[in-house]
Amino acid sequence: MSNYNLTHIKELEAEAIYILREVFAQFENPAILFSGGKDSICVAHLARKAFFPAKIPFPFVHVDTGHNFPETMEFRNQYVEELGVKLIVGSVQKSIDDGAATEEKGKNASRNAIQTVTLLDTIEEHQFDACIGGARRDEEKARAKERFFSHRDEFGQWDPKNQRPELWNIFNGRCHQGENFRVFPLSNWTEMDVWQYILSENIALPSLYFAHERQVIRRSNTWLPVSDFITIADDEEVVTKKIRFRTLGDITITGGDESDADTLEKIVDEVASARQTERGNREDDKRSETSMEDRKKQGYF
């Protein structure tokens, strides 16, 4: 009997595949939120496994802030083509042009918060009743309270005090017209699990995750990449550093770490000994103690 044990990675994989299949069964019109970051790439990989030998039965939705790393875009386009799935792009620029969203001003302006507007509009336009995302509970304290099936009202809002209890492996995805769910198959994964999984499955990633030379400036204790979207102050110096990114958000807010880790093995070793959380370099989370909680309540994922 003792041979019938799964390793924790295999158990997490089985759980995520189960969730993805439940989404397919319980919803009319689900989609995968695909950012081109490692977590959504993992979700896509798991979806491929869940429905094999059939194709992934969900379109991919990318909320395009217009402030992307070019490498992420390239990866996204190539991956979507390889999988043969439909890509739907929600444009934050369009939301701004239409007057639905207002761009932030100032030195640290970012389009992170207004993504929510575009996301909610895209969900409404395409009538998605479930959006599958790669968020994990270990990322942030507001996310620690998330469900696998996270219910959102017709305004896309999350109400942490009124969540549906999730018992055993029975998931309740019933909702009224106009309401929808966010579904998080990686809820129980940690950053380390994701990297171990990427290593053991040999999953392709955007080159940004691997150490590379890049022009950067020092800002808020991190190396911020130089791009057309940031304004460099007079007292800020552009230098070339060997860095890699632990998470991929907008190019305007994602800081890199100095690193020599240019292979998956080296990255796993680096993550294992990391002393900072991966979101420690994300400006969007640093704004206040409750910035993630506040954004989630408004419809962020």
Partner 1 sequence: MTQEKTTPHDNKGYLNMELLRFTTAGSVDDGKSTLIGRLLYDSKSIFADQLEQVAKSSERKGLDHTDLALLTDGLKDEREQGITIDVAYRYFATPKRKFIIADTPGHIQYTRNMVTGASTANCALLLVDARKGVIEQTRRHSIIASLLKIPHVIVCVNKMDLVDYSNEVFEQIKEDYEAFASKLEVKDVRFIPISALNGDNVVNRSEEMSWYEGSTLLYTLENIHIGSDHNHIDCRFPVQNVIRPKTDKYHDYRGYAGRIASGVFKAGDEVTVMPSGFSSKIKSIDTYDGAIDEAFAPMSVTIQLEDEIDIGRGDMIVRTNNKPDAIQDIEVMVCWLNGKGPKPRAKYILRHTTSEVKAMIKDITYKLDISTLHRNEEDKEVGANDICKMQLRTTKPLLADSYSKNRITGSLILVDEGTNETVAAGMIV
Where along the sequence are the contacts to partner 1 (CB under 8 A)?
A: 1-2, 4-15, 17-18, 21-22, 24-25, 48-55, 137-138, 141-142, 144-145, 160-161, 163-170, 172, 174-176, 187-188, 190, 192-193, 196, 200, 268-269, 271-277, 280, 289-290, 293
Q: Name the residue nearer to partner 1 (CB basis): 7 or 240.
A: 7
Q: Name the residue nearer to partner 1 (CB basis): 69 or 148.
A: 148
Least separation in angstroms between residue 85's CB and partner 1 is 14
DSSP string, 256-277: BEE----SHHHHHHHHHT--S-
Taking the C-alpha atoms of residue 157 and residue 114, their distance in angstroms, rounded to an integer, is 14
Taking the C-alpha atoms of residue 107 and residue 222, their distance in angstroms, rounded to an integer, is 15
Q: Name the residue nearer to partner 1 (CB basis): 69 or 189.
A: 189
Least separation in angstroms between residue 155's CB and partner 1 is 17
- CB atoms near residue 288 (< 10 Å): 9
Q: Name the residue nearer to partner 1 (CB basis): 84 or 99.
A: 84
**Whole-Å CA distances, 23 to 14, 26, 119, 163, 268:** 14, 5, 19, 18, 31
Q: Name the residue nearer to partner 1 (CB basis): 52 or 155.
A: 52
Least separation in angstroms between residue 292's CB and partner 1 is 10
**157 token code pair:** 């809002």
Least separation in angstroms between residue 200's CB and partner 1 is 6
CA 154 to chain centre: 22
Least separation in angstroms between residue 105's CB and partner 1 is 27
Q: Which residues contact 136 (CB under 8 A, 6 or more apart)?
A: 39, 143, 184, 186, 187, 188, 189, 190, 191, 194
Taking the C-alpha atoms of residue 191 and residue 8, their distance in angstroms, rounded to an integer, is 14
Least separation in angstroms between residue 159's CB and partner 1 is 11
Least separation in angstroms between residue 235's CB and partner 1 is 25
Q: Name the residue nearer to partner 1 (CB basis): 14 or 239.
A: 14
Q: Name the residue nearer to partner 1 (CB basis): 94 or 164.
A: 164
Taking the C-alpha atoms of residue 192 and residue 250, their distance in angstroms, rounded to an integer, is 22
